[in-house]
Chains A and B, each alone.
Chain A
Amino acid sequence: MREVDSVFWSRALTELTLSFHIIFATIGVGVPLMILIAQYVGYKKNDMHYTMMARRWARGYTITVAVGVVTGTIIGLQLSLLWPQFMEVAGQVIAIPLFMETFAFFFEAIFLGIYLYTWDRFKNPKYHMLLLIPVSIGAAMSALFITIVNSFMNAPQGFTVKGDALIDIQPFMAMFTPAMPTKVGHVLTTAFMTVAFILAAIAAYKLLRGENHVYHKKALVLTMKLGLIFALASAVVGDFSAKYLAEYQPEKLAAAEWHFETEEGADLILFGVLDDGEIKYELRLPKMLSFLSHTDFNAEVIGLDQFPEDEHPPLIIHYFFDIMVSIGVFMILLSAIFVLGKWRNWSFVEARWFRWLIVLGGPLSVIAIEAGWWLAEMGRQPWILYGIMRTAEGATTATGVEYLFIAFAVVYFILGVGSVVILHRMFKNNPIDKELNSRQDGEGSWH
């Protein structure tokens, strides 16, 4: 009984930490690229507003990076604390990308430190801008390496199990699993998409609040355009992810789609509720599931009936899938209409209600990220290492994890509230008008 508790609370604590970390990690991956783009546009067009965008985003970024770093440190150590038996096994095969990740962090941290503290220090501003390239690469590499580890958990390879031992270990084989290309691609594109929409939401909010400055309008157009590009890319790569699942983890896809019986020409089921195994109130798109999984309306799609009961993932992941995809489609439409509207001068894209929709898009994108991870991680259950080790076998045998859960929950609450309050104060005390004026008067740096 006590062991069951440990497993339950280890899962809960992992979920909590990762769900919190992923918000800051996503921002950490996306923001450097956005800063780089803004600074580049500012440099090319010689437009102070874009340079100012880069500068203000970078300032906010210092806060989210800090929370990203501390929560990342927590999860990094927590993996060994909560899943010691899993890490003992995984460490033998997949340690390389974890190790590489620390180098990526190092690299990013070093250049970020330099970038933040050398504004206007170089004679040629181009050198300062170039510092962002290693920062962006470091951030993207962090995502790449950690996602490689996660792909390994979903499609382990590069070793042979012999009794209790692992033999024939090939560390680089373990990194290039079938799950890796789609997963890495989807994680990166969704991170860029989410950050673009968060920044767009902030610009739209400022406009709604009456700071009717052309700076915010430029920011809004730039970020919505970038958002559209990355949202389209996310959907395309997301579709590849589903095709990967159909091929390699069919039970995850089947649970996500509530596809219980193997059949040809399978329907795609959206939303709905389960009543005693009956699907009700759903939206049914005929034969779409076959098409999505195999690009063929009549292809056979494997259902949950092909798998033993105790290997079925929880059916709740259906909702996570629907939430993620709906948000993805909604954001594509919203940003496409905005970009088209700007081009064709449709006045409603400047209306208050439309701007409120853009404000909503920021948090919605974050929700899509969370839903996507819950889908991916819960959909792997009951496995911690797909087909090799069950989650219950990987958990710690120590007791009392529930108290740690409470303690960490309090910490994340403080960090979450703290970062929101600080970010809010930082920009409220220093609105764009004031900063532009003081810079034009040649005043010293901001404090």
Chain B
Amino acid sequence: MALEILGISVLWLFLFGYVIVASIDFGAGFFNAYSLLRGNHQTLTKIIKRYLSPVWEITNVFLVFFFVGVVGFFPQTAYYYGTVLIVPASIALILLAIRGSYYAFEAYSGVSGHKGYALAYGISGLFIPAALSVVLTISEGGFVNMDSGHPKLDYGALFASPLSWSIVVLSIVAVLYISAVFLTWYAHKAGEHEATEVMRKYALIWAGPLIVSAFGIIIEMRQLNNWHYENMFDVWWLFALSGLLFAGTVYFIYKRIRYNWALVLLIVQFALAFFAYGVSHYPYLLYPYLTIHDSFTNEAMAIALVVVFIAGLALLIPSLYLVFRLFVFNKEYVSGKSDHHV
């Protein structure tokens, strides 16, 4: 396999990891805030905290890994995306900073927060995916112009584009849906019946909008009839398979059976769609300026990066396995029977 394909696949895999774990986190914050408003907050908060507390930092590293890796494998992206993303990425960073530290302040200090903060926390979790999803829109092409040799983002076009708004909507809905399905499973595992029912309801509520907005984007793309739509058509079967799995998840959740299978199908469903999207984007990183071939780093660096990556994984996979055993698949911990916080 060519090294650039290997590089982009690895990065895409980590971005996928971030999308899943961050969605759970962002969605959880939103549901927590919502239940606070509704007054049934005790049922959810406990379970959400128990999952989030030991892992939120790990979630963040997925993101850091992605953007550091991109600059390593494709240094030119630093120039193009770095220049055009300065405002949207700064907004996302500010939200991430406030949200992350507020979470830690509250979760670790034992000092309980204030209703207003919890609301701000919940809502900011939806703005972050919206701000980050702008990258996907920009990569489609048509929003970046060259201004005396330097790339410049055309905000007017970006805000006027129905495609960019559909992507924003999809990202928010996906966050809520992924999170709801995960928490249904987690609450069920914890034996928290009430919380399971609440999350199950949310999962079913958000399933509809998810499929509608996903189709919305496909229609949007078809109308633009751009290069990407044609490529997507070539891998239509991947998208179709993903749709089938989606139906499977909804079925299990609806029937209140096999929540663990519902979760597995959900992850595979998103993985298929995510990779089908990525494959159909090939070879462009930023249409039409950057492809993965011409922006690829030199060979010496690429080989070194791959070697470091493999060594790193050898270290990480056993450690991640340990975390999952202790906090996600451990019945005692999940059900709150064992609490050994420092």
Binding site for B on A (CB under 8 A): 55, 58-59, 62-63, 65-67, 69-74, 76-78, 80-85, 87-93, 95-96, 98-103, 105-107, 109-121, 134, 166, 169-172, 396-398, 400-401, 404, 407-408, 411, 414-415, 418-419, 422-423, 425-426, 429-430, 444-447
Q: A95-B301, A96-B301, A112-B57 are in contact. Are A396 and B104 (CB under 8 A)?
A: no
Of B54, B86, B150, most A-chain CB atoms within 10 Å = B86
The answer to whether A73 and B93 touch across the interface, beta carbons within 8 angstroms, is yes
B223 at the interface (CB under 8 A from A): no
Expressed in whole angstroms, the Cα–Cα distance for A236 and B341 within the complex equals 40
Instruction: Tell me, in angstroms, the Cα distance from A320 to B58 when the chains sit together.
Output: 37
Asked whether, in the complex, the Cβ of B326 is within 8 Å of the Cβ of A92, the reply is no
Q: Are B104 and A63 in contact (CB under 8 A)?
A: yes
Indicate if B251 sits at the interface (CB-CB under 8 A).
Answer: no
Q: Which residues of B contact A407 (CB under 8 A)?
A: 90, 94
A102 CB contact (under 8 Å) in B64, B83, B101, B341: B64
Question: Complex: how many Å from CA A85 to CA B90?
Answer: 18
CA distance A166 to B119 in the complex (A): 50
Please tell me if the beta carbons of A87 and B111 are within 8 angstroms of each other in the complex: no
B53 & A98 in contact (Cβ 8 Å cutoff): no
Whether the pair B150, A88 counts as a contact (CB closer than 8 A) is no
B189-197, B232-240, B272-280, B311-319 - interface stretch: B311-319
A169–B303 CA distance with the chains assembled, in angstroms: 12
Question: Do A80 and B101 touch (CB < 8 A)?
Answer: no
Residue among A85, A89, A422 making CB contact with B109, cutoff 8 Å: A422
Contact B312 A100 (CB under 8 A): yes
- Interface of chain A, helix or strand or loop or mixed? helix
Given contacts A59-B342, A98-B72, A169-B301, contact A78 B93 (CB under 8 A): yes
Tell me, rounded to whole Å, the shortest Cβ–Cβ distance linking B1 to chain A: 19
Q: Which of A62, A100, A115 sits near B104, CB closer than 8 Å?
A: A62
From A131, which residue of chain B is reached at the shortest CB distance?
B322
Q: Note all chain B residues with C-beta closer than 8 A to A116.
A: 54, 341-342
- 8 Å CB contact of B93 from A77, A118, A396, A423: A77
Flag if B111 contacts A429 (CB, 8 Å): yes
CB 8 Å contact bits of B175-194 with A (1 = contact, 0 = none): 00000000000000000000
A237 to B333, CA, bound (A): 46
Verify A411–B68 contact, CB threshold 8 A: no
Instruction: Report the Cα distance A172→B223, complex, angstroms.
Output: 49
Interface of B is mostly: helix
**Taking the nearest CB of chain B, how far is it from the CB of A364, in angstroms?**
26
* A105-B64, A169-B300, A398-B83 known; A117+B93 contact, CB < 8 A: no
Give the interface segment out of B28-36, B74-82, B159-167, B208-216.
B74-82
A99–B104 touching, CB < 8 Å: no
Q: Are B60 and A69 in contact (CB under 8 A)?
A: yes
Closest chain A residue to B307, Cβ basis: A96
Q: Please give, as numbers and ranges, the residues of chain B lying within 8 Å of A63 by CB-CB distance.
A: 104-105, 108-109
A11 to B101 Cα, complex, angstroms: 25
Asked if B342 and A113 sit within 8 Å, CB to CB, the answer is: no
Known contacts A88-B79, A95-B301, then 10 further A-B pairs from the complex at CB < 8 Å, ordered by chain A residue: A62-B108, A63-B108, A66-B104, A66-B105, A70-B101, A100-B312, A110-B323, A113-B57, A113-B327, A114-B322
* 4 nearest A-B pairs in the assembled complex, by CB-CB distance: A66-B104, A91-B75, A84-B82, A95-B72
A74-B97 contact, Cβ under 8 Å, with A63-B108, A63-B109, A396-B82: yes
Check if B58 sits within 8 Å of A96, measured CB to CB.
no
Could you tell me which residues of chain B, from 273 to 306, have a CB within 8 Å of some CB in chain A? 297-298, 300-301, 304-305
**B46-89 contacts to A (CB < 8 Å):** 53-55, 57-58, 60-61, 63-65, 67-69, 71-73, 75-76, 78-87, 89
Q: B100 on the interface (CB 8 Å rule)? A: yes
Residues of B contacting A115 in the complex (Cβ-Cβ under 8 angstroms) = 342
A404 to B89, CA, bound (A): 11
Is B338 part of the binding interface, using a Cβ–Cβ cutoff of 8 Å?
yes
**Can you list 22 A-B contacts (CB < 8 A)?**
A59-B342, A62-B108, A70-B60, A70-B97, A73-B97, A74-B93, A76-B68, A80-B82, A82-B86, A92-B298, A96-B301, A100-B312, A106-B319, A112-B57, A116-B54, A117-B342, A134-B319, A171-B300, A401-B86, A415-B97, A429-B110, A445-B339
Assess whether B247 is interfacial by the CB under 8 Å rule. no
In the bound complex, CA of A426 to CA of B54 (Å):
19
A113-B58 CB under 8 A given contacts A73-B97, A99-B309: yes
Residue of A nearest to B95 (CB): A411
Cα of A313 to Cα of B70 in the assembled complex, Å: 33
Nearest CB of B to A52, in Å: 11
Cβ-based interface call for B308 (8 A) = yes
User: Do B105 and A99 have beta carbons less than 8 Å apart?
Assistant: no
With A95-B297, A171-B301 known as contacts, the answer to whether A398 contacts B86 (CB < 8 A) is yes
Say how far A198's CB is from chain B's closest CB, in angstroms: 19
B96–A99 CB distance below 8 A: no
B38 at the binding interface (Cβ < 8 Å):
no
Contact B69 A102 (CB under 8 A): yes
Q: A103-B315, A113-B57, A411-B94 are in contact. Are A95 and B111 (CB under 8 A)?
A: no
A117 engages B96 (CB within 8 Å): no
- Whether the pair A76, B72 counts as a contact (CB closer than 8 A) is no
Q: How far is the CB of B325 from chain A (nearest CB, A)?
A: 10
Once the chains bind, are B55 and A113 in contact (CB under 8 Å)? yes
B89, B101, B312 — most chain A CB neighbours (10 Å): B101
- How far, in whole Å, are A121 and B103 apart by their CA atoms in the complex? 24
B98 at the interface (CB under 8 A from A): yes
B71 touches A87 (CB 8 A): yes
Q: Does B340 contact A (CB under 8 A)?
A: yes
Residues of B within 8 A of A71 (CB): 97
- The reply on B320 being an interface residue by CB < 8 A is yes
Q: How far is the CA of A55 from the CA of B341 in the complex (A)?
A: 10
A87-B82, A426-B110 known; A66-B101 Cβ under 8 A: yes
A101 nearest CB neighbor, chain B only: B68
Q: Beyond A84-B82, A117-B341, is A65–B304 a contact (Cβ under 8 Å)?
A: no
Interface residues of B in 112-152 (CB under 8 A from A): 150, 152
Query: Once the chains bind, are A114 and B54 in contact (CB under 8 Å)?
Result: yes
Q: Pick the residue among A96, A134, A170, A445 that contacts B341 (CB under 8 A).
A: A445
Q: Most A CB atoms within 10 A — which of B79, B327, B333?
A: B79
Does B320 contact A110, Cβ atoms closer than 8 Å? Answer: yes
**Residues in A neighbouring B68, C-beta threshold 8 A:** 76, 95, 98-99, 101-102
Contact status B58-A110, CB under 8 Å = yes
Instruction: Report yes or no: B342 in contact with A55, Cβ–Cβ below 8 A.
Output: yes
Q: Which residues of A contact B63 (CB under 8 A)?
A: 73
